[in-house]
Amino acid sequence: MLHRTDAHITTWVIAIILFIVALLLHKAGREKAAKIVHMIVRLFYILVIVTGALLFFSNQSINPGLYGVKLLVGLLVVVLMEMILVRTVNKKGTGFLWLLFIILFLAALYIGLKLPLGPWHPFD
Ligand code: HEM
């Protein structure tokens, strides 16, 4: 967990899938189910942050700048997921938040894969 990225990847993939499921349930008018899935998504935010933070504190000395940017971008992705869910439930606009979410999500993927841990380094 301190030097392997498996747990971190598993938690953010599940978080993104459940985030989409919560939005689809809301769209289908199934508010109660959407609310339950939203609570589970929130639990996964914590797991994403804890697994990311463990990787961060154990490895950031390798490249403090880029690790710092990864932490910030990863946290912003989580914040945007929550904002999109809450604003969707409250029937408020989310267009700009989706744009930011997509850009920062791609940035998190890119920086995560650029950093040294993990088996894939497609951008090196
Ligand atoms: C939904 C949000 C997030 C996404 C999509 C994401 C994505 C990724 C990806 C693709 C990797 C590379 C895994 C690998 O190469 O095997 C990674 C690694 C990492 N992530 Fe995240 N992450 C997110 C949130 C966070 C958060 C909140 C933090 C910090 C609190 C964080 C810190 C890290 C660290 C330190 C690494 C290790 C990088 C390395 O040394 O290779 N991530 N993440």
At 12-40, the pLDDT tens digits run 999 999 999 999 999 999 999 999 999 99
- Give the distance (Å) from ligand 1 centre to CA of residue 73: 9
* Token pair of 117 as six digits: 């841990």
pLDDT tens for 44-88 read 999 999 999 999 999 999 999 999 999 999 999 999 999 999 999
With contact defined as beta carbons under 8 Å apart, do 49 and 78 qualify?
A: yes
Residue 89 in contact with ligand 1 by CB distance below 6 A = no
Does pTM surpass 0.85? yes
- Give the distance (Å) from ligand 1 centre to CA of residue 35: 27
Q: Please give the number of the atom of ligand 1 that sits closest to the Cα of 109.
A: 10
With contact defined as beta carbons under 8 Å apart, do 58 and 15 qualify?
A: no
Q: Please give the number of the atom of ligand 1 that sits closest to the Cα of 105.
A: 5
- Give the distance (Å) from ligand 1 centre to CA of residue 82: 18
pLDDT recorded at residue 28: 98
Neighbours of 99 (CB within 10 A): 11
Dist CA 109 CA 120 (whole Å): 11
pLDDT recorded at residue 1: 76
Residue 79 in contact with ligand 1 by CB distance below 6 A = no
pLDDT at residue 117 above 90? yes
